[in-house]
Structure 1
Amino acid sequence: MRLAELFDLLASKGVVLSCQNGQLLLEGNVSELSESEIALLRERKQEIIALSGAKNSVFDINTIARGETYTASMSSHQKSMYLLESLAQQSYYNLPVAYKIVGKLNVHQLQHAFSTLVEQHHVLRTVYVEANNTQQVQPMSDFVLSHTKLDCESELQHALQVEANYRFDLTAEWPIRAHVFELSDYSVLSINVHHIAADGFSAKIILQTLSDAYAKGDVQHYPVQAQYADFSEWQQQYLNSEAGKEGVAYWRTLLQGAPSCHNFPLQKQRPAGMTVKGKRTEQLLSPELSSAIKVAAKQHGVSRFSMLQSLFACFLSRMSDSQDVVFGSVYANRGCDNVGHTVGMFANTLPFRFQFSAEDGLADALQQCKGLVQQAKQHQYIPFDEIVKCAEVEYQSNHLPLVQIMLVAQDNALEQFELEDCQVEFIKNEQEVSKFDFSIHVFTKGKQLAFVWEYNTELFSQKWIVQLGKYFEQFIATLISAPERAFAKVDFVATDDMTLATVQDFPCFKSLPELIAEQAQTSRECIAVRHHDDVLTYESLEDCVSRSAGALLQRGYAPGCRVGVCMDKSIEMVISMLAIMRAGLTYVPIDPSYPQARIAQICSNAELSCIVTAHGEFDVVLEDWQPEIVAISQLLQGSKPTRLPVLAADDIAYVLYTSGSTGVPKGVAVPHGSIFYSIEANRNVFGFSASDSMPTIGSQAFGVSLLEILVPLLSGGGVEIVSREDVSLIPNLVERTQNVSVLHAVPSLMSPWIDEVLHRGDSCYPALRLLLVGGEPVPEALLKKLRDWRPDVEIRVLYGMTESSVVSSSYDARRVESLGYCIGQPHPNVNYYVMNPYGARQPDGVSGELCVAGLSLAAGYVNNVEQSNKHFVFEQKLAQRIYKTGDRAKRNSDGYYEFYGRLDNQISLRGVRIELGDIESCVNLVHAVKSCVVHPQTINDTETVLVLYFCLRDEADEKQVLAQIKAQMDEQLPASMRPTLFSCLDALPLNANGKVDRKSLPIPQLQSDYVEPETATEVALQGLWSELFEMPEISVEGNFFELGGHSLLASKLVAKSNALFSIDLSIASFMTSPTIRLCAKQIDLELDKQKMQQLSAAVVDQTNNEELVF
Structure 2
Amino acid sequence: MKNSAHVRKASDVEKQFWLLDQQGKSTAYNIVSAFWVADPDVGRLSQVVQAVMTDWGIGTQVYRLENGELQCVENARALETCTLSLASENFAEAAEARFREFCESKFDIENGPLAKLVTIQAPGAERAWFGIIVHHIAIDLRTKELLASEIERRWTAPEQLYSLDETYEEFVQEHAAWLQSDKADKARSYWKTQLETLTNATMLAQSTPAPSQHRAGGLFEFTLDAGLSGKLDRFAASSRIDPFILYFAAYQLTLSRLKVADQLSIGVPLSNRFGHKFENSVGCFVNTLPIVSQLDWDVSKDQYLGAVRQKFLLANRHQALPVFEIKRLLPSTQTTLFDFGFTLEPPMALDLAGTDIRRIPFYNGSAQLDVFLRGWEDEGGMCFRVEYDDAKYGHDFSRRLAAVFQLMLDGLVAEDKPLRQIPYLPAEDAQVIDTANRTQGPVEAAANLKEAFEAQVKSTPDAIALVSARGQLTYAQFDGLAGKLANCLLQQAQVAPGAIVGVYCDRSEQLLVSIYAIIKAGCAYLPLDVDAPLERTRYMLEQAQARVVVTTTANHSQLETLAVDCIALSTDYGNIEHFEAQLPPIEVSAESPAYVLFTSGSTGLPKGVVNSHRGIMNRLYWMQEYFQVQDDVILQKTPVTFDVSVWELFLPLQVGGTLAIADHNSHKDPYQLCRQIETFGVTFAHFVPAMLAVFLGVDLERPLPLKTVVCSGEELSKELQGRFFRKFNRVSLYNLYGPTEAAVDVTCWKCEGDDHRHFVPIGKPILNTQIHIVDKQGNAVPIGVPGEIMIGGVQVADGYINNPTLTDEKFFVDEFGRGRLYRTGDLAQWDQDGQIEYLGRLDFQVKINGVRIELGEIENSILSLPEIKMAVVTYKKENGIGLVAHYVPNPVADNGNSINNQASITEESIKRQLAARLPLHMLPRAFIQLATMPMTPSGKIDRKSLPYDQLDVPKAAVTSEFAPGTTERLVMDAWQSVLGKTDFAANASFFDAGGDSLKLMEVYQFLLPHLKRRIASTDMFAYPTIESLARYIDSDGEKSPDQDARIRNRAQKMKSAFKRPR
Q: Same fold by TM (over 0.5)?
A: yes
Aligned to 1:894: 833
2:544–2:801 Cα contact (<8 Å) kept: yes
Task: Check if 1:705 corresponds to 2:645.
Answer: yes
Give 2:33's aligned residue: 97
Say if 2:64 and 2:110, in contact at 8 Å, map to a contact too.
Answer: yes
Cα deviation for residue 456 of structure 1 reads 2.1
1:574 and 2:574 matched: no
| Aligned residue number for residue 1058 of structure 2 | none
1:391 partner SS: coil
Aligned to 1:242: 182
Structure 1 residues 127, 728: CA separation in 2 closer, same or farther (over 3 Å shift)? closer
In 1, the alpha carbon distance for the partners of 2:612 and 2:637 equals 24
- What is the distance in 2 between the residues matched to 1:721 and 1:1055? 76
Post-superposition offset of 1:1048: 3.2
1:405 aligned to 340, 343, 347, which one?
340
Corresponding residue of 1:292: 231
Cα distance in 2 for residues equivalent to 1:80 and 1:434: 17
Please state if 1:780 is matched with 2:727: no
Q: Is 2:387 the counterpart of 1:437?
A: no
One of 595, 606, 612 as aligned partner of 2:533? 595
Distance change in 2, residues 1:833/1:247 (3 Å): same
SS state at 1:124 partner:
coil
Which residue does 1:54 correspond to in 2?
none
CA 1:424–1:358: 2 relative to 1, 3 Å: closer
Per the alignment, residue 6 of structure 2 pairs with: 70
Contact preservation (8 Å) 1:929, 1:961: no
Show CA shifts across 1:211-269 (max 9, x none). 4445433453x42233323323332222111112211211111222123315632x132
Q: Is the partner of 1:949 in helix, strand or coil? A: strand
1:833–1:852 Cα contact (<8 Å) kept: yes
1:452, CA displacement in angstroms?
1.8
For residues 756 and 47 of structure 2, what CA distance do their matches in structure 1 show? Answer: 57
Write the distance in 2 (CA, Å) between the matches of 1:809 and 1:1088. Answer: 53
Letter in structure 1 aligned against 2:644: V
CA contact (8 A) 2:595 2:611 kept: yes
User: Letter of the aligned partner of 2:448 in structure 1?
Assistant: S
Moved more, 908-917 or 319-328: 319-328
Matched, 1:976 2:921: yes
When structure 1 is superposed on structure 2, of 803-812 and 232-241 the one drifting more is 232-241
Q: Is 1:653 equivalent to 2:609 in the alignment? A: no
Q: Which amino acid aligns with 2:921?
A: S
Question: What displacement does 1:553 show?
Answer: 0.9
Quickly say closer, same or farther: Cα 1:130–1:783, change in 2 above 3 A.
farther
Match of 1:1005 in 2: 952
Q: Which residue of 1 aligns with 2:1056?
A: none
Query: 2:441 is paired with a residue of what secondary structure?
Result: coil
| Amino acid aligned to 2:1023 | S
- TM-score where L is the length of structure 2: 0.90
Residues 1:1050 and 1:488: Cα distance change in structure 2 (over 3 Å): farther
Equivalent residues in 2 for 1:526-545, closer than 5 Å: 526-532=463-469, 534-545=471-482
- Kindly provide the amino acid, as one letter, of the partner of residue 950 in structure 1: Y
Unaligned runs of 5+ in 2: 892-899, 1040-1062
Q: Is the 8 A contact 1:834 1:889 kept in 2?
A: yes
Out of 289, 297, 312, the position equivalent to 1:358 is 297
| Corresponding residue of 1:727 | 667
Cα distance change of structure 1 residues 74 and 449 upon mapping to structure 2, 3 Å threshold: same
3-state SS in 2 of match to 1:450 = strand
How many angstroms does 1:336 deviate by? 4.9
How far apart are residue 509 of structure 1 and its match?
A: 4.7
Q: How far apart, in 1, do the equivalents of 2:465 and 2:160 lie?
A: 97
Look up the SS of the partner of 1:837 in the other structure.
coil
Please identify, of 672-681 and 869-878, the stretch whose mean Cα deviation from structure 2 is larger.
Answer: 869-878
Q: Mean Cα displacement is larger for which, 427-436 or 1013-1022? A: 1013-1022
What is the percent sequence identity of the aligned residues?
A: 22
Aligned residues: 1010
1:214 and 1:255 map into 2 onto residues whose CA distance is 48
Match of 1:225 in 2: 165
Alpha-carbon shift at residue 130 of structure 1 (Å): 6.9
Please state how far the C-alpha of 1:973 moved relative to its aligned partner: 0.5
The correspondence for 1:346, drawn from 258, 270, 285, is 285
Please say which of residues 779-788 and 1054-1063 is displaced more in the overlay.
1054-1063
Q: Is the alpha carbon distance of 1:1055 and 1:800 closer, same or farther for their aligned partners in structure 2, counting shifts above 3 Å?
A: farther
Q: CA 1:860–1:387 in 2, change beyond 3 Å: closer, same or farther?
A: same
Give deviations 1:403-430, integer Å, cap 9, x for gaps.
2222211225x12252x65322222332
Give the Cα–Cα distance (whole angstroms) in 2 for the partners of residues 1088 and 876 of structure 1. 63
CA distance in 2, matches of 1:490, 1:181: 48
Contact 1:123 1:229 in 2 (8 A): no
Contact 2:27–2:103 (Cα < 8 Å) also in 1 = no
Equivalent residue for 1:177? 116
Q: Contact 2:260–2:785 (CA<8 Å) still a contact in 1?
A: no
1: distance between equivalents of 2:772 and 2:98?
Answer: 50
**What does 1:403-482 correspond to in 2, within 5 Å?**
403-412=338-347, 414-418=348-352, 421-446=354-379, 448-482=381-415
1:1082 maps onto 2:1032 in alignment: yes
Work out whether residues 42 and 128 of structure 2, in 8 Å CA contact, stay in contact via their aligned partners in 1. no
Name 1:746's counterpart in structure 2: 688
What residue identity is the alignment partner of 2:641? A
Which residue of the partner structure matches residue 744 of structure 2? 806
Cα distance in structure 1, aligned partners of 2:795 and 2:442: 14
CA deviations over 1:980-1023 (Å, ceiling 9, x no partner): 23333455566676553449753622253658567733343344
- Work out the CA distance in 1 between the residues paired with 2:105 and 2:421: 45
Counterpart of 1:39? none
Give the distance between the partners of 1:376 and 1:564, measured in 2 at CA: 67
Measured at CA, do residues 283 and 699 of structure 1 come closer, stay the same or move farther in structure 2, by a change above 3 Å?
same
Hey, what does 1:193 align to over in structure 2? 134
Once the 2 structures are TM-superposed, how far is the Cα of residue 872 of structure 1 from its aligned partner? 1.3
Give TM-score scaled by structure 1 length.
0.86
The letter of the residue matching 2:140 is: D
> Conserved in 1, the CA contact under 8 Å of 2:79 and 2:114?
no
**Structure showing greater relative contact order (alpha-carbon pairs closer than 8 Å, 6 or more residues apart):** 2
**Structure 1 residue 386: Cα displacement:** 2.0
C-alpha deviation, 1:729, in angstroms: 3.4
- Provide the alpha-carbon RMSD of the alignment: 2.9
Tell me how far 1:131 sits from its aligned partner: 5.8
Give 2:1001's aligned residue.
Answer: 1051
Q: How far 1:476 moved relative to its partner?
A: 2.2
Distance 1:679-1:1011 versus aligned 2 partners, 3 A rule: farther
Relative distance call for 1:485 and 1:143 in structure 2 (3 A) is closer
Write out per-residue CA displacement over residues 629-684 of structure 1, whole angstroms, 9 at most, x where no aligned residue. Answer: 42253345421244132111121111112111222222111111111111112222
1:916-931 mapped onto 2 (5 Å cutoff): 916-931=855-870
Q: How far apart, CA to CA, are the structure 1 residues paired with 2:882 and 2:286?
A: 39
Could you say if the C-alpha distance between residues 1000 and 646 of structure 1 is closer, same or farther in structure 2, counting changes exceeding 3 Å?
same
Q: CA deviation at 1:472?
A: 2.3
For residue 1019 of structure 2, the aligned residue among 1046, 1069, 1078 is 1069
Change (3 A) 1:629 1:527: closer
Q: How does 1:986-1001 map to 2 (within 5 A)?
A: 995-998=941-944
Alpha carbons of 1:421 and 1:394: their partners in 2 closer, same or farther (altered >3 Å)?
farther
Aligned-pair CA distance for 1:329: 2.1
Deviations 1:1013-1058 (A, max 9, x none): 6773334334443555555432442244444444333333333344
Work out whether residues 566 and 611 of structure 1, in 8 Å CA contact, stay in contact via their aligned partners in 2.
Answer: yes
Taking the aligned partners of 2:169 and 2:504, their CA distance within structure 1 comes to 86
Say which is worse superposed, 615-624 or 916-925, in terms of deviation. 615-624
Deviation readout 1:137-159 (Å, 9 max, x if unpaired): 25567645322222221542332
Aligned equivalent of 2:63: 127
Is 2:803 the counterpart of 1:858?
no
Q: CA deviation at 1:1061?
A: 3.3
CA distance in 2 between counterparts of 1:1022 and 1:828 reads 68
Q: Is the 8 A contact 1:263 1:320 kept in 2?
A: yes
Q: Are the aligned partners of 1:928 and 1:961 in contact in 2 as well (CA < 8 Å)?
A: no
CA contact (8 A) 2:77 2:113 kept: no
One-letter amino acid matched to 2:115: I
